[in-house]
Amino acid sequence: MSDPNACATFHQYGQRCSALAPCRNCRQRLESSNSAHGVPARDGESSGSYYSDLLHDLFKFIQSIDHAETLPLLDMIRNDASFEEVRFYIDEAVAGKSAHDKSRDTSCLVSTLERSYEMESDAPRFRPKVMDVHYLCDFAPVKVPARPWTTVTDDDALVSHLVSLYFTWDYPFYAFIDREIFVQHMAMGEVQSDFCSPFLVNALLANACHYSQYSEAYTVPGDVKTKGTDFLAEAEKYLQSNMFEKGSVIRLASIQATLLLYERYSMVGDNDKGYLMLNHALDMAESLGIINNPKLNLNRSHMSEDMISSVKRTAWGLFQIDTIVHTNFLRPSRVADVSIERIDRDASKFTDLWIPYPLHRVPRPSWLSQCFDEACGLSYIARDISRTLTPNSETNSNVRKQKQMLHKQLQQWEANLPAIFMPTEKPPPHIILLRMRYHALLINLYCDWFYGKPPFNFQEPSTRIAEAGALETALSSARQISALTRLHNEEFGMDRAHQFAMYAILLALFAFLEQQSFNVLDHDFLSLTSAFSTMARRSQVGMNLFHVFRHSVRTRLESGKSASSIKMPTEIQELFGSESIKSPDRWTHYAEGLQRLADDGEYFGIVNESGQPYAASGIGDMLRKYESLTLGKADDMQGREESSNFGFSP
């Protein structure tokens, strides 16, 4: 193990780095040590990276071949084969299959779908807590206590594991909490802190369970609907205790907790509370004067530096959430402007690392404040897009010119991104997601100009604005989303990808379906389908959306003129063919809960033999279904808010 005196990760996080993901200092020490012992390293590659890549490729190779084909490799390892001999065997075996790239794409898709089904259906393997959660906590980036924050568990290791997962995979995309200040006050255990509360902690833990693959994250092992429900129930008790209290002061932690509940409800589609929580958070922020109010100079206030930093994070993070949600579903954003200045763009330094916990991958610079600042700039463009796409908006009479201007603004934003944000730099996931968001906005901008074109339509709109190149722009962005998804998958997998990735992927898939000559065997389409299947199994909402997507593809193939000329492999025929969908199969249970679409009036188009409609008729229809399944129906929100009697206390 690395000497802590030379370990950069130890100095920054109070822990030693992993041997599979050494910091710069330890990597140099490993190279010197291995060189002295005759261990080879490839050109431009450290020995630490060599071992990590070899282990990664070994796992992937064994997972991708039949059991019988692994026997020669296992015999080599049992007979003390060298690392180089194992490396050579894997390279030769992979090279021998290079002539079958197209077949391998199909096989990869099918095997991923099958593994997704099996992993979602089965209970988690038994994992002794001492050997799993406690072991993981040994190198978790965040160490915090369970008590006095939650009564669900007194296991500090479990809570540290979950908090570390949240700040690794969920937090960086919105970043509406000041991470360092929150962790500091949670570690202190002072429940009256302005920066941490039991309400906030339990809401955070409920969200974090979505990213954990361990049995401790489930209330009922194997049932994705029960992930984090114990923590959620406790968070809701604190929410209920605040309902009838009144006061002029709202705790910042309550706004943050409410935003976490919005995220939680939208991930699992729980009782249509997504919009409810988002609107409550917006109302509280307006009451505090940090959005949609005259400009505030926090430096002239009596706030501490920690409070100023936390307020800035919350206000601008809320702005991003508002513009993402409303633009995603083609609705006008509620936030016109933020009333306080942004955080310092250069707050993050090169030495601030994003550690891919719990993966044994190389940490990389987080560039969190730079990414946050770029996201704020993109949010202003998204705000204007959301209002341009709104029917009967003031700009509707000149919508073509508005869209051209917004398109140029998006291109200028993308052109001005730092070089360190380029995909070739293999940045952390939040930067990959930021680029996905840019391409999703381009599709959003033009989707009403090609939505429902024949043959992928059920009802031809009476009027439509034609625009040459709109679909081509969307398809180009769809392919970019596919490339970014592959990068995310190669670097970090998709098991813990932020839920926005699922939105961007599904939007890109439906852009492909809008083509006049749709090709179900398109490499990018299959790649996105594979990633979507991995993400879908993580939640009931994901499974429902995959079911809608599957039937939409089948409908598109049946209605297309060239469908009869497409010879699909057996595996793809099983997934999208009309014969398999008529009878129950491994994906049938993905339809559980879709009746809510009928209750919301969102069933439209194809009806199967049992009288149950499934398919979406195009991007617009898919977005309405997506919205209803995750956030609820915004059109009915006012009445539901009035009947809910939710309120928040000081």
Q: Does position 589 have pLDDT exceeding 80, yes or no?
A: no
Whole-number Cα distances in Å, 418 to 295, 423, 481 = 29, 11, 19
**Average confidence (pLDDT) over 58-62:** 76
Residues 562 and 463 reside in one and the same domain = yes
| Residue at 645: amino acid letter | N
Nearest to residue 497, comparing CAs of 261, 169, 217, 168? 169
**Which residue among 347, 374, 395 closes a domain?**
347
**Which residue among 295, 323, 347 closes a domain?**
347
Residues 427 and 569 reside in one and the same domain = yes
Specify if 109 maps to a domain: no
- Higher model confidence: residue 428 or residue 137? 428
Kindly give the pairing relationship between strand 353-354 and strand 364-365: antiparallel
pLDDT score at 1: 40
Please tell me whether residue 606 adopts helix, strand or coil conformation: coil
Specify if 105 maps to a domain: no
**Which residue among 319, 347, 375 closes a domain?**
347
- Higher model confidence: residue 413 or residue 614? 413
Residue pair 331/390 in contact (Cβ under 8 Å)? The answer is yes
Specify if 362 maps to a domain: no
Residues 528 and 620 reside in one and the same domain = yes
pLDDT score at 593: 72
Determine whether 100 is exposed, middle or buried from the number of CB atoms within 10 Å of its CB (0-12, 13-18, 19+).
exposed
Residues 459 and 588 reside in one and the same domain = yes
Residues 248 and 305 reside in one and the same domain = yes
Q: What is the residue whose two structure tokens read 């341009």? A: 388
Rounded Cα distance between 427 and 421, Å, is 6
- Tally of structural domains, the chain: 3
Specify if 482 maps to a domain: yes
Task: Give me the domain span that covers residue 63.
Answer: 8-96
Residues 134 and 200 reside in one and the same domain = yes
**b/e for 121-154, b at 16 or more Cβ within 10 A?**
eeeeeeeeeeebbbbbbebbbbbbbbeebbebbe
Residues 449 and 519 reside in one and the same domain = yes
pLDDT-wise least confident of 85-89, 236-240, 389-393, 498-502? 389-393
Residues 78 and 143 reside in one and the same domain = no
pLDDT score at 396: 56
Q: Does position 407 have pLDDT exceeding 80, yes or no?
A: yes
Residues 453 and 545 reside in one and the same domain = yes
Specify if 113 maps to a domain: no
Rounded Cα distance between 383 and 337, Å, is 9
Please tell me whether residue 377 adopts helix, strand or coil conformation: helix
Residues 478 and 329 reside in one and the same domain = no
Q: What is the pLDDT of residues 153-192, one digit of tens each?
A: 999 999 999 999 999 999 999 999 999 999 999 999 999 8
**Average confidence (pLDDT) over 247-258:** 83
Please tell me whether residue 413 adopts helix, strand or coil conformation: helix
**Average confidence (pLDDT) over 18-22:** 42
Q: What is the residue whose two structure tokens read 């179900």? A: 520
Range among 49-63, 95-109, 429-443 with highest mean pLDDT value: 429-443
Q: What is the pLDDT of residues 272-282, one digit of tens each?
A: 789 999 999 99
Rounded Cα distance between 48 and 29, Å, is 10
Nearest to residue 491, comparing CAs of 129, 96, 169, 78? 169
- Higher model confidence: residue 432 or residue 117? 432
Specify if 338 maps to a domain: yes
- Higher model confidence: residue 26 or residue 364? 364
- Helices 198-208 and 156-165 pack at an angle, to 10 degrees, of 70
pLDDT score at 607: 47
Residue pair 106/572 in contact (Cβ under 8 Å)? The answer is yes
Q: Does position 490 have pLDDT exceeding 90, yes or no?
A: yes
Hey, how many other C-beta atoms are within 10 angstroms of the C-beta on 459? 10
| Residue at 638: amino acid letter | Q
Q: Which spans in 209-304 are helix H?
A: 229-241, 252-268, 274-288
pLDDT score at 95: 58
Q: Which two tokens stand for residue 442?
A: 């381009």
Going by pLDDT thresholds of 50, 70 and 90, the confidence category of residue 606 is very low
pLDDT score at 565: 52
Specify if 313 maps to a domain: yes
Q: Which residues pair with 291 in a beta bridge?
A: 338
Q: Does position 21 have pLDDT exceeding 50, yes or no?
A: no
Residues 179 and 39 reside in one and the same domain = no
Mean per-residue pLDDT of the chain: 79
pLDDT-wise least confident of 308-317, 491-500, 550-559, 560-569? 560-569
Range among 22-36, 83-97, 354-368 with highest mean pLDDT value: 354-368
Q: Which two tokens stand for residue 111?
A: 């095997």
Specify if 544 maps to a domain: yes
Residues 442 and 584 reside in one and the same domain = yes
Q: What is the pLDDT of residues 288-330, one digit of tens each?
A: 999 999 999 898 888 899 999 999 999 999 999 999 999 999 9
Hey, how many other C-beta atoms are within 10 angstroms of the C-beta on 644? 12
- The one-character DSSP state at 343 is P
